[in-house]
Structure formats: C-alpha cells, structure tokens
Structure 1
Amino acid sequence: MKKAFTILSMVIFGGMLVYNCEPDPDSLGEQLFLDGAANGNEVAYDVIAYNIDNKDSIQSDASKILSSATLGAFSTSQFGMQKAAYYTQLRLPAYDPDFGASAQVDSVVLVIKPQYASDSITTTTDENYVYPDGSVAAKKVVNTYPATKYGKTKANGGNLTVKVHEVTEFLNGYNDIAYSNTVYQTGQELGSKTFNGSVNSIVITKDSDASSLFTSEVGFRIPLSASFFKTKIIDKKGQPELKDVSAFIRYFRGLKISVTESDGYLVQFSPSTAELVMYYKSIDTGATASTQKKYAFSIGTGNVHIGNYNYERKDSAVGAANLASNTATGDGTLFAQGMGGNSIGVKFPEATINTLKNLYQNNKAAIISAKIRIFTDKVESAKFPKPSLMTIVQRDLDVTDLANPKVTTAFTSDLLLLSGTPNFAYLKAYDLDKNPAYYDFTVTQSLKDIVESTKGYEYYKNRYFKIDIGSFLPSSTTGALAGYQYTTRPFSLDRAVFKGTVPNDPYEIKLRVTYGTK
C-alpha cells in the first residue's frame, strides 16, 4: 500500500483547482475514518500572515509565457494607480525586400485585438459607402463588440487615449530577462487614437459585383505615420539595415503602446495576434503604372514582448500596509495583486507547531487534513471581482549569512507528493458569489513534514508560504506543471483584500487541521 501510494503521488497533474460550495476533507489519511477507526477533530490554529512588498516589479518578458499584453490605467484608494503599457519588437516577413519602383506609402495601421464579448454584437451597414481608392461605390458593414474591461468602465466617458511611440533603446533578445518596471527610451510618436471600449470588424464590398474590397478581423486599428515608414522602411531598400534580422531589430528597435490617462480600465490582448500593416503603391518590374500593395510586418513569434507596469502607491491602503508590515506578529489586512503587486506570506508560529507536535507524539494523533483558510475582507472585497485562481509556493530562508540571506522557492510538498492522489486540489475556493468569499490552500503534507519530523521548530522557523494571484501554467509538451515560477501572475489583472492576523475576528486567517486519534 505504501509503495503504491509513493508511485502514485509522484505524478503531477494540471487539474488541481476546485471550486466548491461546501468544504470537504482531502483524501490523505481518509482511511482513518473508515469503520470508525478514528475520531476526527477539526481545530483552528493561529498563523502569522503578512504582506510581501514585491516593489511593484515582476519578470514580464516573453520567456515567462507573456500570453496577454495589458493596456490601460486603473486607480483605487486600496491599491493606488496602476498603468500598463506594452513594448514589442517587429521584424520583416522577408529580408532585403524589394518594394518596387517609385514606392509611396498610403497608410500604416497597427491592429491590436483586445479580448471582447463575442455574444454581444452591434451591426451597422452603410449602403452608400465610397471606397477611397478609386472612389468605388461600395457597401460597408461594421460589427462592433464590447471589449472585456477591468476597472472603471465609464471613467473618461469610457475612453482611453492610446499612443504608439518608436522605441529607441535596444530591447535585447527573446530569451533575455526583462522586468515590468523597466522604462525603455522612446522617440517619435507614430500615432494616436481614442479607444472607446469597443472593437470591430469591417467588411467592404463593391456594389457592382459584391467582390471584396477590404476586410479586417475584430480589433482596434491605430493609424501610424505614413511618412515615418516611408523614410524608415521604403527608403532603406537595399541598405544593410534591412538585410537580416539582427541588423533590423537594432535599427528599428520596436514600438511602445501606452495610454495617457491615469484612471479608467485595463484591457488585454494577445501579442501573437497583433498586426502592423503598411499599404503602399509602387511600379512593378515591366509595368508602367503603380499598383496597391500590402506589406505585413511580423510582430508575434520570436520577438521580444515586455509588459511595462507603472504604479503610484502614495496615499493608498496597500502603500501604508507595506510600510507597517510585521513578519513577527502578522498584518491585520492583507493585499494580493497580480502584475508585480503584493503577495501574502504565511508561516506557522512556534506555539502552533509545538501544540501539534505534542498531539502527534503524546496522543498519537494523525493529521488527516490541513488547510490555510483565508477570507476576503467583507467591505473591501466587494469593490473588486473576486479572484478564482491563486497559487501557493513554499519558501525557505537561509540566514546563515545575515549579509546575504538566500531564499529557496519550490512547489509545496503537497503539490510535489500528493497531486496524484484522488480528489486532490491545492486550492478550493468557496462562496465566490457571496461576501466574504474564502479560500482553502492544502498544506497537509507540508504540515506533516514539520510536525512528524524529529527536528525542532528552530529548524523550520524560517519556512513560509507565499500566496499569489494567478494560476500555475502547464507545460505545452507534457501537460504537467511547467514549474513553480511559471504562472499567470505577470499578466493577471486581479487584486483582492483579505483578512489577516486579527485575533478574535471570525474571518481571521487560520490553519484548520483535521486530525484523528485511535
């Protein structure tokens, strides 16, 4: 039985989140309940919970699986101001291009495709539309969808001013580390457009035969400077700058997309779906007249993508909480935020461990289940959508060298050893549609490692758990978790306020242990 359990428990699966209405025990040790073999007792024990200030910085480059780019701004009294921008490189679809003779740029458009509600559509049709290239009688059909927003959707009339600048500082390579608070130098503004909170698709057809003149997928189109691209690209035909990718990304170093506002909402789009299209006319070899052409730059695979997040915590609740944070006694209010914001630290106090060790050694008590239960703040949590996804990792602080303390981070013992057992979930979320909601983090094996060890509390006193907004990401090849460091936190919009160490408060964060005695 023990051997079979060991083999099974070494397998890691991705499906380790469960959303319940009622709590239930985990399967570890459930055999102690069978046939009345044990009496189960659930007891709440104290923990020390505190805010971890991440200095508003997180690795946010493409190598961290930055599958969503964030754009916008959102300000609250709890978390202060957050503004999100995005840097990207671009490449030529083929190098040493031939644009033809007498090439002239008509227009350049950057298209980003924010997430949107596909089931909410408004269609407008213009039967008398005149297509500008050749003044062709046409019909224009526009389908409009509301973008998915996080924040104050009606701030500034629901508008954000989106600007695009040329990046003048080299963004390095795809596998190089980049942090969210790094600001790269920019130069000329290439374009600007007001985003009204909606995205649309466009279809233009010729009246005479209904043939297509123009189509665009759902997105937000930002016109850029035609003269800039004429000088930067067309006029460099045959020059070294356009000969290969290495030369090009050092010549045209990239784009920055940002907003001017400091409050409003956040939207997200996939970097892999962004498009940059240059429309131009030129004379082909052997021809006498110029013809319309379309040149699409490559923005997706292989390019550097960096999320840039700027925060202003002055006069915010989280700013004050971080200044007063106490890792020895805990904090009464806890803040968690994605995209480089706060994490939550939880550690077991000596009194709690000694009590459980005494039960184990003297009463032969076996830990059946152990959860860290944390409640959202009843007042403050009502101001934000409650997160459904969170992560927990184990951290060990080595202070042997006080001048250079080292932190080792890993999956919890439960994730490493128990995720293959039936019904295992490292997180269970309850009452997300109510106020407050609460979350149970499974730490059964992690607690047993300490309580059942022959080593005293002194050995474990620098171990703690780190709780974050976001979810673990699976490997694209194996389906198992890619690693503790690969999560959605670099681009998670969620934030939440929780009850911390507040003695005698019914919603205080606690370690809830179910143990059985023969």
Structure 2
Amino acid sequence: MHNNSFFKIILIAISVVFFTSCDKDFNSIGGDLVGNDHFGLESKTFNVLAYNQKINAVQSSNLPVNALGVYEDAIFGTTTASFVTQLTLASVNPVIGNNVQVDSVILSVPYFYTQLPNPDLESGENLYRLDSIYGNKDLGKIKLNIYENGYFMRDLDPATGFLEVQRYYTNQASDFETLKGSVVLNDAADVSQNTAFFFSPKAVKEKTTTNGEATTTQSVPAMRLALNKSYFKTKIIDAAASGKLVTNDVFKNYFRGLYFKVEKSDSNLGVLSMMNFKAGKIIVYYKEDSSTDNTVKVSKSIQLNLTGNTVNLLSNDVTNATAYTNAAANPNTTTGDEKLYLKGGEGAMAVLELFEKTDLLGYDANGNVTGPNGVYDELDELRRKDPVTGKSLLINEANLVFHVDGAAMGSNKIPNRVYLYDLTNNTVIADYAFDQTRVLTDKTGHLIYGGLLNPVNTEDKTYKFRITNHIRTLIQNADSTNVKLGVVVTEDINNTGMNKLRVPLQPGTTLTKAPQASVMNPLGVVLHGANSSVPADKKLKLEIYYTKPN
C-alpha cells in the first residue's frame, strides 16, 4: 500500500515536470507576451529592394509532371512544350510465336481530371473537367508528331565520373531533333490524333467483341492515339528473336524512346496541358499461331510503359513581349524594378533584399552605439537590446504582401500560387518548414506560410507571405545572415526540389538553381515592385508587428 502511494507521487511529479517542460517549449515562440514586461503592439514597414532576374535554360529531366502543348500569353510570349521519354517493357524477354499479325498499337496517357457530379442526361455517360490545362480549352489545337527518339539518354553523367545523374535541359531540342526517326508514328487519318490534336475531356470508349457479342467500356479522359502498326511490328515483334527485348537495359539502348514534337496548329489557338506521362503506356495488340494448331490464331499483347529518363523541351517566342524581356534582361539592382515579372519554365523570377543598404552605425551587446559593423542599420535597430531591460523587440508577426499589377495582366490567367524561398542557400525559409497545415492537393498545404492568390478584391489581387520566423531568427541571432529571397510561380507548393541551371544566373555566384515546381509551371504574373515610382498602396513592403520591452 505504501509502495503504491509512493509510486503514485513519483508519477505525478514526473508528469508535472513533463508538462511544464512542454509548456516552456511551446511558449518560447512568443516569450513573455503575458505579464508586465511588454505593452502595446506596434507596427512598422520597411522598404524592400526587389528586382527581376531572367531564368535561362534549366534542368527539366525527370520532372514529376510535364507540359505538352502551346501556350500563348500576351505578356510573356508563346511557350511551346515538347517531350521525350524512354520506354520500358512491362515484361521482358517475351516469347513471340509464328505468323504474327499486328492488330493495333495504342498509346494512352491519362489526363488530370475532375469527374462532374451528374452524368450526361441523354447518354448516361460520366462527364469530366480537365485540370491543369491552359489556353483555349474548347477550341485550342496543336500539331503533334510522335517520332522514335534516337538520342540515348544516360542515367549517369560521365563528366562526373558517373557519380551524378545525367541532367537534360529545356533548350536541348536540337539534340533530339537531329536524331529523331524519319517516320511519324501517330499517322492515323483522323487529324485530331496529329495535325489538329486537342485535349478532349470526354470519357474514352472502347469496343470489344467476345464470342460474337460487342461490348463498350468507358474509361477516364486520356490521350489515346493509334500508332503505326507496321513500324511496331518490325521494331518490337520482329526484334524479339535477336535478343533486343531480353532486358530493359538492352531494350532502352535499342529503342531509345519517343519524341513528342509539338508545333503550333493552323488554328492559331494554342492549348497546353500538364501531363503525367509516367502513367502512360503503349500496348501492341497482335495475333499469332496457336502452339498446338497453326490454323488457329491466338490474341496476345506486349505492353511498353512510358517510364525511364524524360525531358521537357521548351521554346519561347518572345517577339512581341518586349516589356517582359527588357525587364528580365535589365534588372535595376540599385533602386529596384517598378514591375516584377514571374514566369515559369525558361522564364523569370524576382529577387528580394530586405532592409535599406545603409551601414553607418552598430550597437554593442549592451545596446550602446558603435561604428559601422557590416550590418544594415535598419536590422541593427531591430536587433538592439534595450539598455535598461537588456531585452530586444518581440516580433509578433512579419509579412510580405505582393500586389498583382492588374493593368498589366489584363485578362491573362493569373497563377494560383507563388513560392518564396531562401535564394542564397537554395532552400526553404523557416516559416515554410514550420508550417504543417494539411496538404490535400499539389496546390494546397502551407497555408499559414502563404503565397496563395487572394482574389477577393478584384481591383487589387494579392499574394501574402508570413515570414515571422524568418525575421525572428534574423533579429534574435546576431550571426544569422540576411539572405536574398527568391519569388517564382509554382506548380506544386509541396515540391521544394531545386533544378540546376545550364548556365548560372550570375556567373561566379551561388545562384545556380531554380525551384523545380517553377520549371513545371507555364504561367506568368506581373507584380508591383518596391520602386519609388510604385503607388504607396501597391508597393511591396515588409510589415513587422512587434512589442517593445518595458
């Protein structure tokens, strides 16, 4: 009985210590907000140096999703996105029988879609809306020619002693164009499969006949193309006997994949879609003699998956986009740019430098004035400890708010989200890392950190970022670096990967990468900068809310 009481007392004591420790850890973020040490919340705005930066050729190999099509933008020009992928055998070293006849070769790549709640009233068919599609969804068309790829895509880079992956870039179209096959593989008479291709939201219907009875099945919307039967008979079926299909390594060297070449259609109305090609496949349907009776044909198939190394090839016609090209090529790194141009792919980004570049004084550990110390004075003021209390400011909240330039954007589609990151170190800022709000889709998550378009005020759409932890760290740690920040459009806010630039943004610096999710997004947006010519209510500023020590 006494032992039980003793153990109960010990358990209660441990619990109190545990919860007290947890409470201290939790409250350290807002240290001493409650009590007599602080009084009223105050705010201050700080100028930001913000300027444009061109992004040239960037690594676009093995992206999670890829663009395909033509996107025409009155501000940023016309982007044409082609695609190359290796192929792999679903089952290696197939056994092929005698007297093969190829019935059909079907390429299928599912689209991103949303199923509508109500089916068609007349047919009863399911209805769909395509997602991640840009341009004229109803009338837009492209010229799509598919060729055998002749350029071998290595897994590893010999220039690094085969220690790093081989990277392929957005501007390598000429390498693939030179070595492409001579036969157009999607050569069906139906022009909607080639010279006037469009992304159809309709369900895919397939008719099959079994024992004389025809049935029709439906599947979700997809790119579905009939490919050249004779070509695949020779390239796949006939090659099995010579060992070309024995392993996927042998096969990928023999058949080096497909090149989806995109050009503008005669319709002059482009359209572009994001595609998950890795979910795609090619099925070669054929018949061969039965192994027991050569008068009987047996139906069989070989499946090729659109997996392996890939690359998105982008070309940009900016002939009529002079404002964008001039701004991206000639940034004002001294006083900042009036307009900030963000464009995905081979595009542009904004570079931010926080606080005025003035260093006339500094403060010692006691808050006393010293001479210049290599830190901007505005930051020194925020870091300064009160000489009486020995405490520094408590940062309650810090925000960056970007205003969309509505006059410049006109009726152009505005990206739903932009991404702010540590450009100096090519990584996320603290607020992104600490924000664990729920992720539902590629477009959601990290809601406290922000970057979502706020369209409530149609005359003044904004993107807001909460950078409280970033500023707290900068103020509380005197040895922390005031890094440059980068802002780009993003296709997936949860993708923080960085892709190499073929040539660094600024030779001799660490600016050698761009966010992968920006490479995937074809859209662009014009934002008001922080230049003195920008109206005060639209100017980009750093807003800090703080409490003074008392």
Matched residue of 2:409: which SS?
helix
- Distance, in Å, in 1 between the alignment partners of 2:75 and 2:20 is 49
In 1, Cα distance between the equivalents of 2:121 and 2:101? 34
* Residue of structure 1 in register with 2:449 after alignment: 426
Unaligned regions of 5+ residues in structure 1, if any? Answer: 10-26, 126-140, 397-407, 476-483
Q: What is aligned with 2:7?
A: none
CA 1:366–1:339 in structure 2 vs 1: closer, same or farther (change >3 Å)? same
1:53 positional shift: 1.1
C-alpha RMSD of the superposition: 3.6
Equivalent position to 1:299, from 301, 305, 327: 305
Name 2:152's counterpart in structure 1: 170
From 64, 68, 83, the counterpart of 1:67? 64
**Structure that is richer in strand per residue:** 1
For residue 262 of structure 2, what is the aligned residue in structure 1?
259
- CA positional deviation for 1:258: 3.1
Match runs of 1:102-501 below 5 Å: 102-119=99-116, 145=128, 147-148=130-131, 150-153=133-136, 157-173=139-155, 176-183=166-173, 184=176, 185-188=179-182, 189-192=184-187, 193=193, 194-199=196-201, 200-204=203-207, 212=215, 217-261=220-264, 264-291=270-297, 293-301=299-307, 303-316=308-321, 317-348=323-354, 349-351=356-358, 353-361=376-384, 364-396=392-424, 408-416=425-433, 418-419=434-435, 425-427=448-450, 429=452, 431-433=454-456, 434-454=458-478, 460=481, 463-470=483-490, 471-473=492-494, 488-501=517-530
Whether 2:90 is the aligned partner of 1:93: answer: yes
| Alpha-carbon offset, residue 225 of structure 1 | 1.0
Please tell me whether the aligned partners of residues 133 and 274 of structure 2 are also in contact (alpha carbons under 8 angstroms). no
Give the partner amino acid of 2:421: V
Map of 1:131 onto structure 2:
none
Counterpart contact for 1:500–1:509, Cα < 8 Å: yes
CA displacement at 1:166 relative to structure 2: 0.8
Q: Is 1:74–1:83's contact at 8 Å kept on the other side of the alignment? A: yes
CA shift for structure 1 position 223: 1.5
Decide which moves more: 207-216 or 283-292.
207-216
Number of paired residues?
Answer: 456
SS in 1 for 2:405: coil
Please give the secondary structure, in 2, of the residue aligned with 1:507. Answer: coil
Q: Which of structures 1 and 2 has the bigger CA Rg?
A: 2
Matched position secondary structure for 1:358: helix
Q: Report the TM-score, using the length of structure 1 for normalisation.
A: 0.77
Distance 2:229 2:209 in 1: 26
Match of 1:400 in 2: none
Task: Assess if the C-alpha contact under 8 Å between 1:53 and 1:343 holds in 2.
Answer: yes
**1:70-81 equivalences in 2 (<5 Å):** 70-81=67-78
| Identical residues among aligned pairs (%) | 21
Q: Which gives a bigger RCO, structure 1 or 2 (Cα 8 Å, sep 6+)?
A: 1
Runs (4 or more) in structure 1 with deviation over 6 Å come to: 5-9, 33-36, 141-144, 420-424
Cα separation, 2, equivalents of 1:82 and 1:430: 23
Name the counterpart of 1:44: 45
3-state SS, counterpart of residue 250 of structure 2: helix
Taking the aligned partners of 1:214 and 1:421, their CA distance within structure 2 comes to 40
Q: Hey, what's the Cα distance between the residues in 2 that align with 1:498 and 1:167?
A: 40
**What stretches of structure 2 of length at least 5 have no aligned partner?**
1-18, 157-164, 188-192, 360-375, 387-391, 439-445, 497-512
Q: Which residue of 2 aligns with 1:133?
A: none
